[in-house]
Amino acid sequence: MSAAPRFARIAIPSPLPRHFDYRLIAGDPVPAPGTRVRVPFGRQELVGVVLGVTTQSDLPRDKLKSIRRSLDSEPLLPATLMELLVWASAYYHHPIGEVMATALPVMLRRGLPATAAGEKRYVLTEAARRLPPDALKRSPLQQRLVQVLREHAEGLSAARLAEVVKNWRDAMNRLTARGLIRITEEQCLPPRLAGQHIAPQLTAAQEQAGAAILAASGKFQCLLLLGVTGSGKTEVYLRAIEEVVARGDQVLVLVPEIGLTPQLVTRFEGRLNAPVAVMHSGLNDSERLCAWQMARTAQAAVVIGTRSAVFTPMPKLALVIIDEEHDASFKQQDGFRYHARDVAIKRARLENLPVLLGSATPALESLHNAQQGRYQLLSLPERTGAAQPPRVTLLDLKRLKRNEGISPPLIEALQERLTRKEQSLLFLNRRGFAPVLMCHDCGWLAPCKRCDARLTLHRDVRVSREAGSRERPIHQRSRKLRCHHCGAEAPLPVTCPACGSGNLHGIGEGTERIETALARLFPQARIVRIDRDSTRRKGSLEEKLRRVHAGEADILVGTQMLAKGHDFPNLTLVGVLNADQGLYSADFRSEERLVQQLVQVAGRAGRADKPGEVLIQTHHPDNPAFAAIAHHDYREFGRYALAERQTAQYPPFAHLALLRAESPKPDAALAFLRAAHGHAQNLMEAEVVHLMDPMPSPMERRAGRYRAQLLVAAGTRKALHDFLSVWMAQLEAEKLGHRVRWSLDVDPVEMY
Ligand code: ADP
Ligand code: ZN
Ligand code: ZN
């Protein structure tokens, strides 16, 4: 017989990259992996997750503290999910405690009880909160209950109350009768709408794709659904989900941050005869806990969520779908830098189930995997109904004069749409009025004081045209300089700080300037601008989209916020104002991103009965990226872009990790990276990886901090990870590391 375990390995939310051992409470049941415990940690008490129990600890027994209390009688995180989290911690080289914390809703991280969803909670009413302290002094039990509930604004369940106040029921009934207590029963799921939306008759290609997904049931298999915009990918998802849910199983649907619109959720709820839970960053803590509980108890058949929903426990999970799988928002850019798509694929492997990636413009990595036969490729080559792909024309800016960024052929096309009472969309991935403020006498450019960047000129004209009122823009007062990197704001100088001239002008175009130019060119047109600035207020994006759908807008101007997900049946013209922003950049992914954006935005033009037209303004009409867009052949782009990646040995032909450091002191970050580089060269493992020289980041100073980076590349994942494991241990011990903030980004998406 093996010895009884005496210690538990606990993941504790701490930046230290390891777990901690604690003594078990003698006489208590041995805590299961995936349950939470309260433990003393330094001078605090923290909530940790049990990773496992052991009979031995590396630390001497008298050095070990004891667990204070077990919080759960059963695991909150099932075994496969624990395995996934441990894997993610190792793969992304991020502390296990912080990884575990990512998987738990905030309220559970704080140690609140994981009450079953639908359980009653007792909450103080306003009247009870206003009671003077000694109001209940003649009934100590009632007084005690009010006291306890004051500390728990979200209320407590019967089970929790019983733990803290003995014989509480009678007192509680009396408080309730006096109107001092409200009993709530949490309703986490939105009302069922099933039957409100009717499924269309699927096309043969859709049927085939749906059948292929279902045929993969019960085993690990990656499928890539490559479907041009408007080809009906969502219908394929819904078909597959219906079947899985009908069998009593669960489906996880991951969508990009801006893809999770109320319209999408309504579409899913309206079609599926099953409860849907939604998870995104806009939920408050108790809504999030609620949705999580519905998923964990399988009361929700479908979970739709953004990035972090990939860690939701779902006991009957049978299918994972990742919509717009190429979207950059699946990668977390700070802290625990995981990629939700890659984690989802690992999860599907561990749980032995199919995972479907869908996109009109898949990441080159995914396309490559499909070409290599690792993913099963499903394709929807045509738009549904009679819809023709839009005609794409390139407008050569070398030969065309522009009126505030808009060339004559584009102006003509806009005029045509106005006459025909159709809608147009102008796409420009640059918000603000002008990206630079310049002195025309001495060439001074307004800089950000804290970044190596220029300030953007903003002129919020939203007060006038957008509301459709007759008010004039309040020019001087609403003008501002703003840094798009650190958020700093500065007033517009009246004269040039360098030479004193008053000859200051905004150079180049942002969405605000285009909006103003359009108002001048087409005084009768109703213009709607959609970008981060114009949609800051809650509900304003929805209101703008409503106006577009209701036909209360003629021209939309906007950034990538407009590029996907929206279906505007009366929109027949898409103009791309400056397609060159992503070409020839330092980041090897910038061209891929540009093509993805342009294909998505072009996909907004034309639906069934109205053919669409796309006009792209560029200085480089011969760039092959545009040819692929004009031919509606993303795979054509994929072929030559992948060939380029192979020549340059970039992903997917190499595996990367980026070590970043930053400090308010000019040279500290580079000094640390040089030391890191030195350590690496002394390692055996360094022979199989390729280390670049440490260098300042492309924008070295941001928000007052100097930044530098070191890129590591390897031919195989294994080589990279063998190296990183040894190297990271050395970096933890490197003294220069204490003077900077540093982090490792495995499979980086942003290269600076
Ligand atoms: P995607 O997700 O590929 O952009 P959607 O599934 O949103 O495409 O479909 C685009 C439009 O075509 C939607 O309005 C949808 O209702 C419609 N649609 C999809 N499939 C069909 C079909 N088989 N028959 C008719 N309309 C369809
Ligand atoms: Zn000047
Ligand atoms: Zn700045």
What would the DSSP string read from start to end of 168-194? -HHHHHHHHHTT-EEEEE---SPPP-T
Structure tokens at 548: 């577009």
Structure tokens at 202: 């699927």
537: left (phi over 0), alpha (psi -120 to 50) or beta: beta
Ligand nearest to the CA of 199: 1
Which ligand 1 atom is at minimum distance from the Cα of 387? Answer: 12
CA distance 435 to 433: 7
Structure tokens at 581: 């922003």
Surrounding ion ligand 3 within 5 Å at CB are 448, 450-451, 483, 485-486, 488
What residue type is assigned to position 713 of the chain? A
Please choose from 224, 235, 261, 610 the residue to mutate so as to test ligand 1's pocket, defined by most ligand atoms within 8 A of CB.
235
Place of tokens 């007052």: 704
Cβ 424 under 6 angstroms from ligand 1: no
CA distance 245 to 321: 14
CA distance 384 to 607: 9
Which ligand 1 atom is at minimum distance from the Cα of 565? Answer: 4
Report the separation in Å between the CA atom of 455 and the middle of ligand 3, taken as the mean of its atom positions. Answer: 7
CA distance 174 to 423: 63
Cβ 202 under 6 angstroms from ligand 1: yes
End-to-end CA distance of the chain: 55
**Residues 54 and 280: beta-carbon distance below 8 Å:** no
Cβ 603 under 6 angstroms from ligand 1: no
Name the residue at shortest CA distance from atom 24 of ligand 1.
Answer: 200
User: Residue 442: what are its φ and ψ, rounded to 5°?
Assistant: -120, -5
Please choose from 197, 208, 234 the residue to mutate so as to test ligand 1's pocket, defined by most ligand atoms within 8 A of CB.
234
Cβ 554 under 6 angstroms from ligand 1: no
Name the residue at shortest CA distance from atom 19 of ligand 1.
Answer: 232
Q: What is the pLDDT of residues 207-216, one digit of tens each?
A: 999 999 999 9
Which ligand 1 atom is at minimum distance from the Cα of 203? Answer: 23
Place of tokens 């990206």: 435
Ligand nearest to the CA of 497: 2
Ligand nearest to the CA of 450: 3
Among the listed residues 367, 366, 323, the one whose alpha carbon sits nearest the alpha carbon of residue 636: 367
Name the residue at shortest CA distance from atom 20 of ligand 1.
Answer: 232
262 preceded by a cis bond (ω within 30 of 0): no
User: Residue 578: what are its φ and ψ, rounded to 5°?
Assistant: -145, 95
**How big is the chain by its Cα radius of gyration, in Å?**
29
Structure tokens at 443: 């060439």
Sheet holding 44-54, edge to edge: 20-23, 7-11, 44-54, 36-41, 69-70
Which ligand 1 atom is at minimum distance from the Cα of 323? Answer: 2
Nearby residues of 260 by Cβ (< 8 Å), 6 or more positions away: 278, 280, 304, 305, 306
By three-state DSSP, how is residue 326 classified? coil
**Residues 471 and 463: beta-carbon distance below 8 Å:** yes
295 to 12, 357, 379, 596: CA distances (angstroms)? 24, 21, 31, 33
Cβ 358 under 6 angstroms from ligand 1: no
pLDDT at 463: 40
pLDDT at 116: 56
Cβ 210 under 6 angstroms from ligand 1: no
HSE (side-chain half, CA atoms, 13 Å) at 181: 24
CA distance 459 to 510: 10
By three-state DSSP, how is residue 691 classified? strand
CA distance 395 to 104: 51
User: Residue 389: what are its φ and ψ, rounded to 5°?
Assistant: -65, 150
Q: Which residues pair with 144 in a beta bridge?
A: none
CA distance 17 to 151: 33
**Residues 745 and 337: beta-carbon distance below 8 Å:** yes
Report the separation in Å between the CA atom of 357 and the middle of ligand 1, taken as the mean of its atom positions. Answer: 17
Residues of the chain with pLDDT under 50: 1, 461-476
CA distance 176 to 123: 10
Please choose from 384, 571, 601, 632 the residue to mutate so as to test ligand 1's pocket, defined by most ligand atoms within 8 A of CB.
384
What is the per-residue burial (b if ≥16 Cβ within 10 Å, else e) of 113-131? bbbebeeebbebeeebeee
486 to 73, 113, 483, 705: CA distances (angstroms)? 46, 39, 6, 11
Among the listed residues 373, 372, 315, 306, the one whose alpha carbon sits nearest the alpha carbon of residue 341: 306
Q: What is the pLDDT of residues 506-559, one digit of tens each?
A: 999 999 999 999 999 999 999 999 999 988 888 888 899 889 989 999 999 999
CA 666: distance to chain centroid? 32
